[in-house]
Structure 1
Amino acid sequence: MIDIFSPAKHSDAQAPLRDPEAGLSLVEIMVTLSIIGVATTLILLTIPARPLHKQEADRLQEALEQTAGRSLVTGQPMGLIIEGQSYTPAIWQNGNWRPLQSYQLPSGIRFEIDGKAPMAPEEGETALPAVIFDPLGHTAPVSIELVRNNSRTSLTLLADGRVSTEVR
């Protein structure tokens, strides 16, 4: 009976020689990795890009959520000023809305707030926020649509500050 669990006994004092053909060479591994890299690149290039209005809707949703969160953290009312082709988070300080960094929409995309185009401020007046976030987490529900050609992406701000998105 052969004991397969005991160490092998060799009559020679030398260790057994390895087969030089066993295993993979560095060149073979590098060629394989190169083929995988090229295949991955080709696959990624065939994935269609997301529509521009959907990308902008995601960016606007993030701005709404960040503004709501900042209002909760700082304990100060925050708002989102929407005018023409841009939107700007604003903070309520010393009885005035102080705008923060503005973001410009790409050409061809426009806003609608509750089904209407945003109102431009009168000459000499500051723009007021279309959306106001209370530091307690409450906000008035509002629907903001990004319109491009026949595509509409609707962002509905709920009373608890959550944002739901619908593409039409």
Structure 2
Amino acid sequence: MENRNNRFRRKYFVTIDRLLIRLTTIAVILLVVVQALLLHAETRKYLSLVDKLEGEQLTSPPTMYAADISRVDPNKIMATVDRVIAKSIRSLRSGQAITIRMITPAATGDGLLTINGEVVGNFAKGNLECTVYNGDYIEIDVTKLTRPAQFIIDTHKNDMILSPLDGILLQSQSNVIVVGKVIFKR
């Protein structure tokens, strides 16, 4: 009788082992097939609940360098809504004041300061104070000047600003003087 029970148990365990091996093999194959299907966007939207519930994907704006900034016509006016949005986004960040002084020629309204492609002001008073934020891109447009111009950047001895350097002298070699990207210490 014990022999009979042992045979039944062995037979039962061998059957369960074979079934578990087959189920494991099928599960691994199914996993590989589903992962391969998830590589394609069209099938992923049907298989993945997360992609259905996530909503629209947002992309962050690329970092701006000199080659990325297009020259903006100063006469071009930005829409009111765009200005309000841009100002509200800037107000969420902490900004630092800098002053750009025009040394030569004497004070004239022909030099324009642009930050991120938007005209901020001119050098009619000889100097221009503005608030900059981390990542802003500063340029000075001197296309209307007939003589070479010189400018000094004054960051008010602020330890938070790494670039542009305090007291740096910039001289016009072309129509646009690139001050560069504003970088703050973290």
TM-score normalised by the chain length of structure 1: 0.29
Flag the structure with higher helix content. Answer: 2
Bigger-Rg structure (1/2)? 2
TM-score by length of 2: 0.27
Kindly indicate whether structure 1 or structure 2 has the higher relative contact order, using CA contacts under 8 Å at least 6 residues apart: 1
